[in-house]
Amino acid sequence: MRYWLMKSEPDEASIDDALAAQGKTIAWTGVRNYQARNFMRDDMRIGDGVLFYHSSCAEPGIAGLAEVASAAYPDPTQFDRKSPYYDPKSDQENPRWLLVDVKAMRKTRLIGLSELREQSQLEDMIILRRGNRLSITPVTPAEWNFIVNKLIPKKT
């Protein structure tokens, strides 16, 4: 099992949107970075843990827990001329962009960047590296366990 941090702008897809979706599952559309695409295509497996991260908002941070719910498949937004994610260079026979479905497990308290930075156990976490802009990054088992067991209160 692997673990991931996946960024989403909450006005596009928030943890609340995912929890309200049918089956609590949303398609992770709009990834337009080759390294992030490759993580989905080559490394993600159904059941992998996901830190659902709200980005490009007033308070960015981890907002929920989720899991990968499908294998990678073509992102339909790349073919939709009306989509902001349309890619005229992608073709149906050999799609450039992929997505996975993500199933929300639960909303958490917001764990912001400043709180993450305060934790010495997370000092090597990719999201905290200067200049990191990837929307999907791997999380080590140690980082996952620390966040889930120390920073996120247990469900009651």
Domains of the chain (ranges; CATH) run 3-144 (3.10.590.10)
Q: Is the pLDDT of residue 132 over 90?
A: no
pLDDT tens digit string along 3-29? 999 999 999 999 999 999 999 999 999
Q: Is the pLDDT of residue 53 over 80?
A: yes
Give the residue carrying structure tokens 């009651």. Answer: 156
**DSSP state, residue 71:** -
For residue 41, report the phi and psi dihedrals to the nearest 5 degrees. -70, -45
pLDDT band at residue 153 under the 50/70/90 scheme: confident
Cβ atoms of 116 and 125 within 8 Å: the answer is yes
**Worst-scoring range by mean pLDDT, 33-37, 42-46, 50-54, 152-156?**
152-156
Q: Is the pLDDT of residue 155 over 80?
A: no
Give the alpha-carbon dihedral of 26, 144, 10, 137, to 10 degrees.
-80
Q: Under 8 Å CB-to-CB from 93, ≥6 apart: which residues?
A: none
Average pLDDT over residues 133-142: 96
Would you state the pLDDT for residue 144?
A: 98
Which of 108, 100, 99 minimizes the C-alpha distance to 150? 108
pLDDT tens digit string along 99-126? 999 999 999 999 999 999 999 999 999 9
Would you state the pLDDT for residue 62?
A: 98
Would you state the pLDDT for residue 44?
A: 98
Give the residue carrying structure tokens 């305060």. Answer: 118
Would you state the pLDDT for residue 156?
A: 54
